[in-house]
Chains A and B, each alone.
Chain A
Amino acid sequence: MRLNTLRRHFRESFKSLGRNGWMTFASISAVTVTLLLVGVFLVIMLNIQHITKQIERDVEIRVHVDLSATDADKDALRAKLEAFAGVEKVTYSSKDEELQKLIDSFGEDGQSFRLFEQDNPLSDVFIVKAENPLDTEKIAKQIETLPSVSKVKYGKGQIEKLFAATTTIRNVGLALIVGLLFTAMFLISNTIKITIFARRREIEIMRLVGATNGFIRWPFFLEGLWLGVLGSIVPIAIVLSAYSYTFDLLYPRLKDTFFQLLPFYPFAWQVATVLVLLGACIGMWGSLMSVRRFLKV
């Protein structure tokens, strides 16, 4: 394509934005409203994702070693655990270390456990972490069958519930976002269809004088792109300022809990990029869909 032609396409696309002022406004509003909703969901989703990741990361399997096991047995067990598919890390914690942890976790009251230092009733423990926390249960079941293992603990019941909840939240959020995007595409393709309908004569004449379909499509394609990008500005501003406000409000209160929000940077850039790209895509898609009807392809 010649440079002049490209310049013409850009000029035409901008002219058309101005010429169809109200339609431009309507399309941009459609994108704005949808992207605002998508943006809010996106921010919430990503934060939930972040929080569940943190919770999931704390899920571990505690393998209690049989009291009769020798050092050689322990080494063999460790090697087997490490060789398991899906195991990320195996840490050893001797029964003395376990007792110390127990004492520490009770604070002042823990001192009474010091009595057991002479005759420690606890077992040595291997702490196993799964690469994918969702595999925890499967791996735990397999570990139970190994020799020199007396007990396997992994928070049975609770983590299943937790994982079920986080998976549901993820899927519902994803479905909502996809649904919203489709709505936006149809809104845009409809508004652009009206602007194109007003210009069908122009398209007809272009076809009569021998313009290729690609040539006819370009300005509409660019117009859709501008609509999408312009429509993403307000949602980005609103979503990010709201997030910054919420973050500042909640951060001190959540400081010592599991519930850590994503820090503002680089999260802000990521959200802005995603929204601009989504706007651009739905804009271009919408206009290409509606111009198709006027071209015999």
Chain B
Amino acid sequence: MIEMQDVYKTYPNGVIALNGISVRIKQGEFVYVVGPSGAGKSTFIKMMYREEKPTSGKIMINGVNLANIKNSKVPLLRRNIGIVFQDFKLLPKLTVYENVAFALEVIEESPKNIRKRVMEVLDLVRLKHKARFYPDELSGGEQQRVSIARSIVNNPAIVIADEPTGNLDPDTSWEIMDIFERINDRGTTIVMATHNREIVNTIRRRVIAIERGKIVRDEVKGEYGYEA
């Protein structure tokens, strides 16, 4: 479970990114975060995996306050959170299999478990047959599926996605959403920042709209609400 209480964030250059955010996200929820560019969406997302620290306020994830954990504890926190980016962030010199296995290698998982888990998640994102391919031999959608596979390979409770369909064409975006829904069906919380109006309005889920650093709308089964 994710809970934010009166979170403020001011960057060193004086930009106020978050201006008093309080929100609760229950385990297993699927949440869209929408809002215009520069409204604070990215900062909101970054707070959850502690890429940024709040200036003030509390961020609880599974009972731990991210506002005051030590830097050395951040890696442990991130092992329980999967992160997906718009630009995939795959390593070009590693194969699909190696890219996914990487996430388990760095947390010192045993080789036997690594094989098993990697093949499982590649099956889930339907890329088992391309395990030996390199990222640049895949389409954008396939690359994003690899990065999703990597984010869920260590069974995190939460998956955070920052505009995962931002670089993809509409058809591919639907494929990606299909995978997110399946991950969500298994009980994983999904928080997804997006600009994709069509997706938000079709697959109806909770919508949190952020503008000028504040939550201006929070609806169960909401809509995108902005002109595209």
Spell out A's residues near B (CB within 8 Å). Answer: 1-2, 4-5, 8, 19, 201-202, 204-213, 215-216, 296-297
Decide: A206 and B71 in contact? CB cutoff 8 A. no
Q: Which residues of A contact B171 (CB under 8 A)?
A: none
19 example contacts (A-B, Cβ-Cβ < 8 A) are as follows A201-B89, A205-B89, A205-B102, A206-B102, A207-B74, A207-B75, A208-B89, A209-B78, A209-B79, A209-B102, A210-B103, A210-B107, A210-B154, A211-B75, A211-B106, A213-B75, A216-B106, A296-B74, A297-B71
- Report B106-126 residues with CB < 8 Å from chain A CB: 106-108, 110-111
Chain B, residue nearest A15 (CB):
B93
Q: How far is the CB of A42 from chain B (nearest CB, A)?
A: 40
Distance in angstroms between the alpha carbons of A206 and B150 in the assembled complex:
12
Decide: B71 and A209 in contact? CB cutoff 8 A. no
Decide: A19 and B89 in contact? CB cutoff 8 A. no
- Report B58-86 residues with CB < 8 Å from chain A CB: 71-72, 74-79, 83
**B203 at interface, CB cutoff 8 A:** no
Decide: B93 and A19 in contact? CB cutoff 8 A. yes
Distance in angstroms between the alpha carbons of A297 and B76 in the assembled complex:
15
Interface centre among A19, A208, A211, A216 (most CB of B within 10 A): A208
Chain A, residue nearest B79 (CB):
A210
Q: Which residues of A contact B77 (CB under 8 A)?
A: 210
Given A201-B91, A204-B89, are A209 and B106 also a contact pair (CB < 8 Å)?
yes
Decide: B111 and A209 in contact? CB cutoff 8 A. no
Interface centre among B77, B78, B110 (most CB of A within 10 A): B78
Decide: B71 and A296 in contact? CB cutoff 8 A. yes
Distance in angstroms between the alpha carbons of A216 and B79 in the assembled complex:
15
Decide: A206 and B93 in contact? CB cutoff 8 A. no
A19-B93, A209-B102 are known; give 5 further A-B pairs, CB within 8 A: A4-B108, A8-B105, A210-B78, A210-B103, A213-B72
Chain B, residue nearest A296 (CB):
B71
Decide: A202 and B91 in contact? CB cutoff 8 A. yes
Q: Which residues of B contact A216 (CB under 8 A)?
A: 106
Chain B, residue nearest A4 (CB):
B111
* Majority secondary structure, A binding face: helix
Distance in angstroms between the alpha carbons of A4 and B102 in the assembled complex:
14
Q: Which residues of A contact B150 (CB under 8 A)?
A: 209
Chain A, residue nearest B71 (CB):
A296
Q: How far is the CB of A140 from chain B (nearest CB, A)?
A: 62
Q: How far is the CB of A92 from chain B (nearest CB, A)?
A: 70
Q: Which residues of A contact B108 (CB under 8 A)?
A: 1-2, 4-5, 215
Q: Which residues of A contact B111 (CB under 8 A)?
A: 4
Q: How far is the CB of B127 from chain A (nearest CB, A)?
A: 18
Decide: B71 and A208 in contact? CB cutoff 8 A. no
Q: Which residues of B contact A208 (CB under 8 A)?
A: 49, 78, 83, 89
Cβ-closest 10 pairs across A and B: A211-B106, A210-B79, A210-B78, A209-B103, A212-B75, A210-B75, A5-B108, A206-B106, A208-B83, A2-B108
Interface centre among A216, A296, A297 (most CB of B within 10 A): A296
Interface centre among A206, A209, A210 (most CB of B within 10 A): A209
Given A202-B91, A205-B89, A213-B72, are A4 and B110 also a contact pair (CB < 8 Å)?
yes
Q: How far is the CB of B107 from chain A (nearest CB, A)?
A: 6
Q: Which residues of B contact A19 (CB under 8 A)?
A: 93
Distance in angstroms between the alpha carbons of A104 and B45 in the assembled complex:
96
Chain A, residue nearest B147 (CB):
A205
Q: How far is the CB of A94 from chain B (nearest CB, A)?
A: 76
Distance in angstroms between the alpha carbons of A24 and B156 in the assembled complex:
38
Distance in angstroms between the alpha carbons of A8 and B109 in the assembled complex:
12
Chain A, residue nearest B151 (CB):
A209
Distance in angstroms between the alpha carbons of A99 and B79 in the assembled complex:
90
Distance in angstroms between the alpha carbons of A19 and B77 in the assembled complex:
32
Q: How far is the CB of B54 from chain A (nearest CB, A)?
A: 16
Q: Which residues of A contact B75 (CB under 8 A)?
A: 207, 210-213
Q: How far is the CB of B152 from chain A (nearest CB, A)?
A: 11
Q: How far is the CB of A218 from chain B (nearest CB, A)?
A: 11
Q: How far is the CB of A180 from chain B (nearest CB, A)?
A: 36
Q: How far is the CB of B87 from chain A (nearest CB, A)?
A: 10
Distance in angstroms between the alpha carbons of A215 and B108 in the assembled complex:
9
Given A4-B111, A297-B71, are A210 and B91 also a contact pair (CB < 8 Å)?
no
Q: How far is the CB of A9 from chain B (nearest CB, A)?
A: 11
